[in-house]
Amino acid sequence: MTVQTPILPGATLGVLGGGQLGRMFVHSAQSLGYFTAVLDADPDSPAGRVSHHHVRTAYDDAAGLAELAGLCAAVTTEFENVPAPSLATLATRLPVSPAARAVGIAQDRAAEKAHFVACGVPCAPYAVIETAEQLAAVDARLLPGILKTSRMGYDGKGQARVADAAALAAAWERLGRVPCVLEQMLPLAAECSVVLARGRDGAFVHFPVQRNLHREGILAVTEVHAGNIDAALAAEAVRSAHAIADGLDYVGVLCVEFFVLADGRLVVNEIAPRPHNSGHYTIDACDSSQFDLQVRTLCGLPLVQPRQHSAAVMLNLLGDLWFDVAGTQRTPAWAEVLALPGAHLHLYGKRDAKPGRKMGHLTFTAADARGARDAALAACALLGIEAF
């Protein structure tokens, strides 16, 4: 167990990555009285534009990392594809969370699956495919399945559904014969996730289990309210997430995503070593957000179990909403949406809307699930989002 001297407000906190997650971290840090620094090469990055300092270099640029370390008392990351060696370099000079080892495991699906197995947490049956020999030796019982690149896959990218051995071989060719993981396709009843925070002293807190709906590999809807997930399954998900975090000796905010199978079993899908899209509702529906906990874990501040005070439904807002059926750009009906009860609109400050690009999210809070769902469905009708 490591005891960290708390880093108190007035210090400068750094984040690798200038996207929306970095932006929301910066907002939380600043609300607590910290100064902030963002490292991101994009001069127009959402987080960079609201931070006190913006280091405009690549994530593996030695001079940029040195500048960030010189500015900051501690550093975190906003997404898992920041080079793990950059985190290791920074960790020689100041506290960094999550650690390079944990991020490195999350960056590699094969290592991630092996970690789940080592922790005793069930996952889908799988095979690692890195060579033609491994491809030829795949157990037929894993088909039909989903072939996923071991590295750099997110939001449904780097994946292919395969029905048989021929389709598997063709998909591996299309993916460039890079290292992959083949997962057996399982009959799904639902998807859920656990967002947790773990301190350097091993302290552990978590948010309620979130029920998620994905469309084309991208999160579309998150619901968090009484009855959204069976209580026994929710407890199992929290226990499994805790075991995974402890096995990594994790420090920071971690999201663990699960599948609920048609037969009622729970299997882990993947981890994200950072705050997560499915946890954005915590900004408006809980007394501490996932970004508040990211600041606390980074700074060694006390972790207090967060409390949800309102039922919540969150809608992801993709760039498609900024275009009509003819492809003409438009402004979504924000005034009408904001007239709905319990509406909380969060736009990320991205200049250009593109189909599939995450532009913001919309959370509806209410005293009960029906109130939140009804308002969210009304927003779907106004914005042209498919109902759920």
Tens-digit pLDDT profile for residues 55-82: 999 999 999 999 999 999 999 999 888 9
pLDDT level of residue 158 (50, 70, 90 thresholds): confident
Closest among 363, 172, 215 to 283, alpha carbons compared: 363
For the residues 166-194, what does the mean pLDDT come to? 96
Residue 236 labeled ligand binder: no
Higher pLDDT, 304 or 154: 304
Residue 191 labeled ligand binder: yes
Residue 78 labeled ligand binder: no
The pLDDT of residue 37 = 98
d(CA 11, CA 22): 17
pLDDT level of residue 3 (50, 70, 90 thresholds): low
pLDDT digits (tens, 9 = 90+) for 359-388: 999 999 999 999 999 999 999 999 999 999
Q: Has residue 1 got a pLDDT over 70?
A: no
Residue 329 labeled ligand binder: no
Residue 223 labeled ligand binder: no
Residue 348 labeled ligand binder: no
Query: All domains of the chain, ordered by start, with CATH?
Result: 12-96 (3.40.50.20), 125-184 (3.30.1490.20), 188-383 (3.30.470.20)
Residue 20 labeled ligand binder: no
pLDDT digits (tens, 9 = 90+) for 68-124: 999 999 999 998 889 999 999 999 999 999 999 999 999 999 999 999 999 999 999
Q: Looking at residue 309, what DSSP letter applies?
A: -
Residue 368 labeled ligand binder: no
pLDDT level of residue 156 (50, 70, 90 thresholds): low
pLDDT level of residue 12 (50, 70, 90 thresholds): very high
C-beta neighbour count of 55 within 10 angstroms: 24
Residues linked to residue 329 through DSSP beta bridges, in sequence order: 323
Residue 155 labeled ligand binder: yes
Residue 250 labeled ligand binder: no
Cα separation values, 98 from 116, 285, 338, 376, Å: 18, 25, 36, 34
The pLDDT of residue 154 = 62
Are residues 146 and 168 in contact, defined by beta-carbon separation less than 8 angstroms?
A: no
Residue 152 labeled ligand binder: no
pLDDT digits (tens, 9 = 90+) for 298-307: 999 999 999 9
Residue 314 labeled ligand binder: no
The pLDDT of residue 4 = 74
Residues linked to residue 317 through DSSP beta bridges, in sequence order: 360
Residue 210 labeled ligand binder: no
pLDDT digits (tens, 9 = 90+) for 308-328: 999 999 999 999 999 999 999
pLDDT level of residue 153 (50, 70, 90 thresholds): low
pLDDT digits (tens, 9 = 90+) for 213-248: 999 989 999 999 999 999 999 999 999 999 999 999
